Amino acid sequence: SGELNKTFTASGSYTIPAGYTKMDLFAVGGGSAGLHGFSRTIGSGGGGGGYTKTVANISVTAGQSLSVIIGSGGSGVVGGPRRGGTSYVNRASERLITANGGEDSSNSISVGMRGGSGGGAGGSGDRYNINGAAGGSNGSAGDSISGGSSGGSG
């Protein structure tokens, strides 16, 4: 029945329309939050990007219901979840795709914060034959620090 593109920015359900027998999925996990800084002159590590994944040519039938879960970004609030949430799509009890959330920043009392790990490599797409690049590694730790405030949300 032609090409149909559907983008989800919030969790929900989706029913496969009539005339479609195959689908491709692309998922992105939530990015993590950066860690709070311990002084006004020394910054802190940024959050890691969410991982991505592509799955192509999944067989579907009209009327099938998909459950779409969108991973939220990590919270910059002290004591909040810094790690990004996992995004996934289920068909009944079958998990069709999973994209993990970004890793949270880490710290040490004697050094500045390291940034979270970057997102993983994007999956190859059968349709366009493009491979994604791997995310960056953790940043280096900084100098000694003291004090602190909340970081921004992921």
pLDDT for the residue numbered 102: 85
Q: Which pLDDT score is estimated for 19?
A: 94
* Cβ atoms 35, 79 nearer than 8 A: no
How would you write the pLDDT of the chain (154 residues) with one tens digit per residue? Answer: 678 889 998 999 999 999 999 999 999 998 888 766 555 555 566 677 788 899 999 999 999 999 999 998 887 766 666 788 899 999 999 999 999 988 866 544 444 444 555 555 444 444 444 444 444 444 444 444 444 444 444 4
**pLDDT value of position 49:** 78
**Of 90, 70, 66, the residue nearest 29 (C-alpha):** 70
Rounded to whole angstroms, the Cα distance separating 133 from 93 reads: 31
**What pLDDT, on a 0 to 100 scale, did the predictor assign at position 129?**
40
pTM for the full predicted model: 0.63
What pLDDT is recorded for position 123? Answer: 47
